[in-house]
Amino acid sequence: MSIQNPIIRGFAPDPSILRVGEDYYIACSSFEWFPGVQIFHSRDLVNWDIHSRPLDETRLLNLRGVPDSGGVWAPCLSHDDELFHLVFSNVKSFQGVWKDTPNYLTTSSSIDGPWSDPIYLGSAGFDGSLFHDTDDRKWYLSMETDHREGKFFGGIIMQEYFPENKSLGGPIHKLTEGTDLGCTEGPHLYKINDYYHLILAEGGTEYLHAVTWMRSKNILGPYELHPNNPIVTAAHHPRHPLQKTGHGDIIQSSDGKWYITYLCARPLTTRGRCITGRETALEELVWRDGWPYLKNGHKLTRQEIPSDTQIKAKPTLKHYCFQDGQFPLDFQNLRIPMSIDWCEMTTEGMILYGQDSLSSLLDQSLIARRITEHRTKSSVQISCQPEHFQHMAGLVLYYNTYHWIYCFVSANDKGDSCLQVLICDKYKISELLTTPIVLPDSNDLKLEVVWKKKWAQFFYSIGDNSTKKIGPPVDASILSDDYVCDAKVRYRPAFTCAFVGMACQDLRDKKFQARFKNFTYEILP
C-alpha cells in the first residue's frame, strides 16, 4: 500500500494542519466560494474527507462583492487545549497599489462549532496565524504588505494577542524580511525543544514556490536560516509531476513522527496548466542537528509514499440526487449563503431561481463542485421552461467571472427552447454553435460533459433518446490559474481551480426557475 499525493485532490491550497488527540484536521483556503474555509479530517494522516466549512453565516463571513480569488485566504487552525482558533483573511481588493486584507479570529470549543463572532485583527497584511507559546502567551503573525515603490512583500510581523481583551496589543515586531527567494508570506511559528521555528512560503505561489525555514532561541529573533533552504521545492525540476510545492505547515503525530503538509499542483504538461488548482501534499520529516529535512532525502514530493496504513478506496462515481433534503458537502456556491430565495431542495430535485449573470460578483444562482482529476465526466438532468433569451439554465464549467464554459438551455425569439454553449475567455464571450439546437422539450433534458485533460466535449439527450454531441470539443484548460493569471497585470490573483456545476439566470425579471436532479461526477481511467 502507498499514500497517494496529493492527499487532498482538487483545490485545497494553503493547508494548516492540526492534531487534537487522535484526530487530524487540515484547513484550506476557499476564496470567493461559500461557506468559507475547508476543514478536512483524518485519523491516520492518509485517508482524508471533507469535514465541514465553518464560516457558513454572514455574521462569520461576508463575501458579497469580493473580487475573483479574493475572500478567504490561508486560514490557520490551532488549538490551545481549550478552544479551537481559526484565523482567516477576507480579502476585499488586491489590484492596484493598496491591498484591502482584513483579518479575523473566530473560536469554538468544538470543531463542529458554533463559532464565535469574528474578532478583527487588523489589515496590515494577510496569511495570518496564531501561535500559542508554552508560557500561555499568544502571538499573531502575518506577512506585511508594503505599497511603497512597488515593493508589496514587506516581511513577517508579529504582535501579541490578548484573549481577555479580544485584541492585539503591544509593539509590532518585524521577525524577518525573508530570504533571497522573495515573496515572503504564509508564516507559521512553532516551539520545538529550545528553538522557535519559523516556517515560510516563498518564491511566489507558482512554479518557483517553496517552503523555507528559520529558527531562533528568542521568539523575537534574530532568526537564522536553515543550512539547506528551501527544504521543499520543485523549482529546479520542471518535469516532476508535482509542481508549485510550497506554503507548508507541520505536525507531530501521536507516535512521535513529524510530517509536513504543503500545497502542490499537477500540470497537464511540463509547467503547463493546472485545471485541478493547488492541492495538498504530505511528506515525513526527519531532524538532523536541530533542523528538519524531508525523509525522502531530497526536496521533491513523491507521488507514492510506502505505507502500512490501509488506504480506503474512494468511489470513482458519485451520484447526487438533491431529493433527500441534504445538501452535499462536495458542493459550494459563490459569495452568498444558500437561501430559499434562490435555492430550494424538494422531493423532485433542487430548484434554482434565476439571478445574476455568470459575470456577477453579487448574487449568482450557481452550485458547483471541484474538478479533482484530469479525466472526468459530469452530467445532470434539468427541467425548465425558458420564455426569453435572458432566461438560462444548465451545466457550467467555471473558474471565475471572466473564465467559464456554459452549456445551457434558453429560448429563441420564437419562444422555442434551444441549446447553446457560451465560452468566456478573458472577458470575451463567444458562441460555440453557429445556430443553437432547437429542442422539442426542455423538461426531460440531460446535459453531460466529458473532460479529458485539455478538451471538454458536451452532450445532450432528451428522455430515452440517444446522446448527441453539442458542437466540437472546447479547450477547457483556460479554466486554470496558469491561464487566468495575467502576467501583464501585477498580482492579479488567480488562486482557485475549475469547478463543474449547475447555474440559472434570469436577466429579465428574476422569475425564471429550473429544476436539477441526478447530478453525477465520475473519475475516468
Q: Which of 419, 403, 304 is nearest to 358 (CA)?
A: 403
What is the arrangement of strands in the sheet containing 38-42, beginning at the earlier edge strand? Answer: 16-20, 23-28, 38-42, 49-52
* Architecture of the domain delimited by 317-523: Sandwich (2.60)
Nine cell digits for residue 514: 429550473
Residues 6+ apart with CB under 8 A from 439: 409, 416, 417, 418, 419, 445, 462
149 catalytic, yes or no?
Answer: no
Tallying the residues shown for the chain, one arrives at 525
Using CA atoms, how far apart are residues 173 and 154, in angstroms rounded to an integer? 13
Q: How far is CA 121 from CA 14, 104, 166, 357, 410, in A?
A: 20, 5, 9, 34, 47
**Are 98 and 107 within 8 A, CB to CB?**
no
Contact 86, 107 (CB under 8 A): yes
Each domain of the chain, given as residue ranges in start order, spans 2-306, 317-523
CB contact burial 439-459 (16+ within 10 A = b; e otherwise)? beebeebbbbbbbeebebbbb
The answer to whether the beta carbons of residues 478 and 486 sit under 8 Å apart is no
Task: Pick one of 3.40.50.2300, 3.40.50.300, 2.115.10.20, 2.40.50.140 as the CATH number of 2-306.
Answer: 2.115.10.20
Stretches in the chain below the pLDDT threshold 50? 490
Contacts of 216 (CB under 8 A, 6+ apart): 195, 196, 198, 222, 223, 224
- Give 4-43 as a 3 state SS string: ECCCECCCCCCCEEEEECCEEEEEECCECEECECEEEEEC
The torsion defined by the Cα of 208, 13, 8 and 477, in degrees rounded to 10, comes to: -70
What sign has the CA pseudo-torsion 233, 191, 91, 175? negative
Phi then psi for 482, rounded to 5 degrees?
Answer: -65, -30
Output the pLDDT for position 492.
67
Which of helix, strand or coil describes residue 484? Answer: helix
pTM confidence score: 0.96
SS3 label, residue 295? coil
Annotated catalytic residue within 14, 32, 249, 448: 14
Name the DSSP letter for residue 481. H
Catalytic residue among 32, 144, 185, 206: 185
Q: All 3 cell numbers of residue 198?
A: 519559523
Give the model's pLDDT for residue 298.
Answer: 95
> In the chain, how many H helices and how many E strands?
1, 41
With vertex at residue 462, the alpha carbon angle to CA 461 and CA 465, rounded to the nearest 5 degrees, is 75
Q: Which letter does DSSP use for residue 255 in this model?
A: T
Buried/exposed code over 24-48 (b: 16+ C-beta within 10 A; e: otherwise): bbbbbbbbbbbbbbbbbebebbbbb
The C-alpha cell that represents 517 in the structure block: 436532479
CB 73 within 8 A of CB 29: yes
Q: How far is CA 9 from CA 41, 265, 523, in A?
A: 14, 9, 12
- Annotated catalytic, 14? yes
Q: What's the rounded Cα separation, in Å, for the pair 145 and 123?
A: 9
**Are the C-beta atoms of residues 153 and 143 closer than 8 Å to each other?**
yes
Nearest residue to 181 via CA among 206, 212, 154, 155: 212
What pLDDT, on a 0 to 100 scale, did the predictor assign at position 3?
83
Query: Which residue matches cell numbers 438551455?
Result: 409
Please give the pLDDT value at position 486.
Answer: 65
Give the pLDDT confidence score for residue 327 in this predicted structure.
Answer: 87
How far, in Å, are 316, 454, 476, 488, 522 from residue 480 at the CA level? 23, 11, 9, 17, 20
Contact 209, 301 (CB under 8 A): no
CA dihedral 468, 472, 474, 475 (to 10 degrees): 140
